[in-house]
Amino acid sequence: MKVLVAMSGGVDSSVAAAELRREGHDVVGVTMRLWGGESDTGCCSVSDVDDARRVAQQLRIDHLVFNFSDDFDAHVVNPYVDAHRTGTTPNPCIECNRHLKFDRLSQRARLLGFDAVATGHHARIERQPSGVWRVIRGADTAKDQSYVVHMLDQKELAYTLFPVGHLTKAQVRERASELGLRTATKPDSQDVCFISKTGGRETFLGHRIPFRAARVVDETGTELGSVDAVELVTVGQRRGLRLPGGAPKQFVLDVDVATATIVVGDEARLERAELHADRVMWSHEPLPLGSEVMVQTSAHGATQPALLDEVGADSVLLRWRTPQRRTAPGQSVVLYDPSDRAVLAGGIVR
């Protein structure tokens, strides 16, 4: 099989390419050039491209570079900026997967005659006896990335490979060391690739949108303080609010960009009985009302049981078994089957 492997310059994608090569596939590595600006972190730096190229040389496979920077700006960077401008909390890595790794890259791979694309994600793809494809949690529960690849539909699932999903992270590094790959001990990328460590989110956004000062008030409307930029505040935040010392801890309950007002209160006030999500994509078919699902609202958060209270054309209303802390609007929510093993759907918190 002819496979195009997305090589980010990290150890997981390096071993993914090596595993496919060992299995006898015709493997070609590709690194996507996404961000053209300053980068000292993530998977977009010049050194990452060089690491991917050098690993491809070690594995004796061809290595390509695709320039998708315009698509990255349109589908990841600009929406990230717009989200902050309008008071929601974006998830750029998921949008990169949605629009670049499992859309734009797959389109290019098909045009070039590849039989499949592969990445180094810690997740698995299985075909059920019914013929339905599912994303399954990775073998390493601490590194599981099924949450960030939840958007794959049946067409993409049938075309995608996750060669390291059955391995733990320790096993991945062990195999990289056995092969002498230069990425064997390379640390995992943790941050948004277009936000530099030196400048940070405030500097990045400050060059692109005007910041507006905002009042910080309690639930009665009593003013407690102010912040310099309402665009930098998110639901659930506690630090950076510049509130008077000695008072009980206060958390952001709501962000109203239109009136430049931030409402704070007790952490208990963040609890909600339900969660509404839009832009919902089911990996196959929607479940009937009343079905129980396990729900994950952050990349490494624990899942919680909920019932499907409403199911629309592209939306769901989930009712928690027990009230849960509110998830910031704009974040991704992923539904798993009751065993907490297979991805059923994912959407964006309203």
Task: Catalogue the active-site residues.
Answer: 96, 193
pLDDT for residue 95: 97
Residues 71 and 164 in one domain: yes
Is 198 a member of any domain? Answer: no
Does some domain include residue 311?
yes
> Do residues 14 and 85 both lie within one domain?
yes
pLDDT of the residue at 196: 84
Domain count, the chain: 3
Same domain, 260 and 274: no
User: Are 233 and 227 within 8 A, CB to CB?
Assistant: yes
259 & 278 share domain: no
Is there a single domain that holds both residue 99 and residue 41?
yes
Strand partners, 296: 334
Residues 287 and 168 in one domain: no
* Single-letter amino acid, residue 63: H
Whether residue 147 is found in the same domain as residue 280: no
Last residue within a domain, chosen from 246, 265, 284:
265
pTM over 0.85: yes
- Model confidence pLDDT, tens digit, residues 110-139: 999 999 999 999 999 999 999 999 999 999
Task: Give the pLDDT confidence of 78-102 residue by residue, as tens digits.
Answer: 999 999 999 999 999 999 999 999 9
Instruction: Give the other-Cβ count within 10 Å of 148's Cβ.
Output: 21
**Domain encompassing residue 146:** 2-179
Domain boundary among 179, 197, 231: 179
Q: Do 168 and 118 reside in the same domain of the chain?
A: yes
Structure tokens, 236: 């659930």
Whether residue 304 lies inside any domain: the answer is yes
- The pLDDT score that the predictor gives to residue 118 is 98
DSSP 21-48: HHTT-EEEEEEEE---S--SSTT-SHHH
**What is the amino acid identity at position 128?**
Q
- Cβ contact 173:184 at 8 Å: yes
Q: What is the pLDDT of residue 39?
A: 60
Where would I find the H helices in the chain? 11-22, 46-59, 69-72, 78-86, 92-96, 105-111, 154-157, 169-179, 200-206
Q: Contact at 8 Å (CB) between 177 and 328?
A: no
Domain-located, residue 316? yes
Output the domain CATH number for residue 248.
2.30.30.280
Final residue before a domain boundary, out of 127, 158, 179: 179
What confidence score (pLDDT) does residue 42 get?
Answer: 55
* Same domain (yes/no): 297, 344: yes
Rounded mean pLDDT of the chain? 94
Q: 57 and 162: one domain?
A: yes
Q: Which residues of the chain have pLDDT under 50?
A: none
- In terms of domains, do 300 and 261 share one? no
